[in-house]
Chain A
């Protein structure tokens, strides 16, 4: 029988916190592996497949930020939930820039943590579903490989970030229909209270730079005022 329990790697050097996280995540039905420093987290990730990483920032040997950056260099889309006592806006921004999909500050509420883990895994599941039975989505002379995150835009080949890939995938899956900002926020960002609807607009502007020959007069990613966005081939 295939074991379909999701595997989570918890990287936390505080033994008590790690043990508490393991207990609660296992209670929710996940398989949990612990790592107490950044290097052993990367080693474990090389040996086994995981569905999600809960990553502290202040870690011996290799910091959480470096771990996230190293993972993003290898795999653009592996889900990372950063958990840190660093709570300023700059810290949060730094964590998200390093490649975290979500950022939660310590001390945290247990139900919120479990909901966020669930949300990230749900988005990840949805992302892994194939687009129209094909891994590579072609439009004009451009293409996106959602499996690898690689894409070809107006100015050559490049890698999409995890959020860009998720956003693009949602628009492509629902092509020729208007997708509301709220839906984009919920599916891509998981309704993080810190995320503003303007964030969606900024990401769309970035995607247009990649895939539109004239971003000011877009042909593929169309804005519908006060409604949302629509993707057209």
Chain B
């Protein structure tokens, strides 16, 4: 069955059609050259004025040229059609994964609301449920932000609002927001701030980057692992490292993970929800800050380090 599918893959069909086309063309040229004399004799009987004594190379070349044009046209159509079908596939994957990712926090909110409606709960339980719901709404809002941002993730259409931000305290604030999630997954977080510069940044955009990186680290790490966050100066950049003990990456994935909709497919991660947008958006945002988003991993199962590098030139005097 899979062999049959490979055989009818658009690329195979395209190659097959092209080979058939070239063979037919060769047969036709061969036939034309072989039968040239006979055709000419026959034609001279009907319309002697139409034919000259020699082979009409010009007409032959014109025919070949037209055929080549058709060949090139088919090739161009194929390339665009292939691109389009890949985009359609990516879009439907995206819709499926986004709707799936939206449903999880929504299901949680509905469950807690209905729990409050149908069950008798104590004041403490009520407070706990409301906090859980608030956290889920925050998650939903982060995801919606990602979707909206991804639709305009090209530097020209990104309307950034730069303002001086104390990077150290901002980072501390973002990490604090994940306290509950770290506890739930029994994860430890180590935050080390070597110095706290004030940089000219879009705070909202940068919080998306930090949120994406921290939530990814939690999502793709086993229970009980540690996330180390380290803010320091590295050459021409202020660098924030997010080092996790998660599933890590193969070398081939390292190059692709910042692509839009790209998701690492392996047995550790295949069932973890995700839309393939977070890293793409984060890298675009950092690029817009004239910085770099880098990743390194020693391999699968060996964790990974994401480094947000913001240029020293962003620094402002306080």
Q: Do A and B come from one complex?
A: yes
Residues of A within 8 A of B (CB): 13-17, 19-21, 23-24, 27, 36, 57-61, 63, 85-87, 106-111
Nearest CB of A to B92, in Å = 12
Nearest CB of A to B120, in Å = 9
Asked if B107 and A19 sit within 8 Å, CB to CB, the answer is no
Given known contacts A24-B115, A110-B114, A110-B118, is B223 in contact with A36 (CB within 8 Å)?
Answer: yes
**Which parts of B266-306 form the interface with A (CB within 8 Å)?**
267-273
Asked if A85 and B271 sit within 8 Å, CB to CB, the answer is no
Asked if A61 and B267 sit within 8 Å, CB to CB, the answer is yes
Q: Give complex CA distance A12, B99 in Å.
A: 18
The contact of B272 among A16, A58, A85, by CB within 8 Å, is A58
Residues of B within 8 A of A (CB): 99-100, 103-112, 114-115, 118-119, 125, 129, 132, 135-136, 181, 184-185, 223, 267-273
Nearest CB of B to A5, in Å = 18
The contact of A15 among B106, B110, B112, B184, by CB within 8 Å, is B184
Of the A-B pairs whose beta carbons lie under 8 Å apart in the complex, a sample of 23, sorted by A's number, is: A14-B104, A16-B184, A17-B104, A17-B111, A20-B111, A20-B112, A20-B115, A21-B111, A23-B125, A58-B100, A58-B271, A59-B271, A61-B267, A61-B268, A85-B104, A86-B100, A87-B103, A107-B103, A107-B107, A107-B110, A110-B110, A110-B115, A110-B118
Asked if A108 and B185 sit within 8 Å, CB to CB, the answer is no
The contact of B100 among A20, A21, A85, A110, by CB within 8 Å, is A85
B99 — which chain A residues lie within 8 A by C-beta?
85
Asked if B110 and A108 sit within 8 Å, CB to CB, the answer is yes
Q: Give complex CA distance A90, B287 in Å.
A: 41
Q: Give complex CA distance A61, B267 in Å.
A: 6
What total count of A-B pairs have CB within 8 Å?
A: 78
Q: Give complex CA distance A14, B108 in Å.
A: 9
B110 — which chain A residues lie within 8 A by C-beta?
107-110
The 6 closest A-B pairs by CB, nearest first: A106-B107, A110-B114, A107-B107, A85-B103, A15-B184, A20-B111
Q: Interface SS of chain A: helix, strand, loop or mixed?
A: loop
A58 — which chain B residues lie within 8 A by C-beta?
100, 271-273
Given known contacts A58-B100, A58-B272, A85-B103, is B108 in contact with A16 (CB within 8 Å)?
Answer: yes
A20 — which chain B residues lie within 8 A by C-beta?
108, 111-112, 115, 129, 132
A16 — which chain B residues lie within 8 A by C-beta?
105, 108, 112, 132, 135-136, 184
Asked if A111 and B118 sit within 8 Å, CB to CB, the answer is yes
Asked if A17 and B100 sit within 8 Å, CB to CB, the answer is no
Asked if B103 and A60 sit within 8 Å, CB to CB, the answer is no
Given known contacts A16-B132, A85-B100, is B111 in contact with A110 (CB within 8 Å)?
Answer: yes
Q: Give complex CA distance A108, B115 in Å.
A: 12
A59 — which chain B residues lie within 8 A by C-beta?
271
Looking across the interface, which residue of chain B has its beta carbon closest to that of A27? B119
Q: Give complex CA distance A60, B268 in Å.
A: 6
Q: Give complex CA distance A16, B267 in Å.
A: 24
Q: Give complex CA distance A232, B276 in Å.
A: 58
Given known contacts A16-B135, A19-B132, is B273 in contact with A109 (CB within 8 Å)?
Answer: no
Q: A21-B111, A58-B100 are in contact. List 15 more A-B contacts (CB 8 A).
A: A16-B132, A16-B136, A16-B184, A20-B108, A20-B111, A20-B132, A61-B268, A85-B99, A106-B107, A107-B109, A108-B110, A109-B110, A109-B114, A110-B110, A110-B114
Q: Give complex CA distance A54, B217 in Å.
A: 27
Q: Give complex CA distance A24, B132 in Å.
A: 15
Asked if A60 and B271 sit within 8 Å, CB to CB, the answer is yes
Interface centre among A17, A24, A27 (most CB of B within 10 A): A17
Q: Give complex CA distance A109, B99 in Å.
A: 18
A86 — which chain B residues lie within 8 A by C-beta?
100
Asked if A17 and B108 sit within 8 Å, CB to CB, the answer is yes
Q: Give complex CA distance A13, B222 in Å.
A: 11
B119 — which chain A residues lie within 8 A by C-beta?
23-24, 27
Nearest CB of A to B118, in Å = 6
Q: Give complex CA distance A17, B267 in Å.
A: 23
Q: Give complex CA distance A110, B106 in Å.
A: 13
Q: Give complex CA distance A139, B135 in Å.
A: 60
Looking across the interface, which residue of chain B has its beta carbon closest to that of A113? B111
B184 — which chain A residues lie within 8 A by C-beta?
15-16
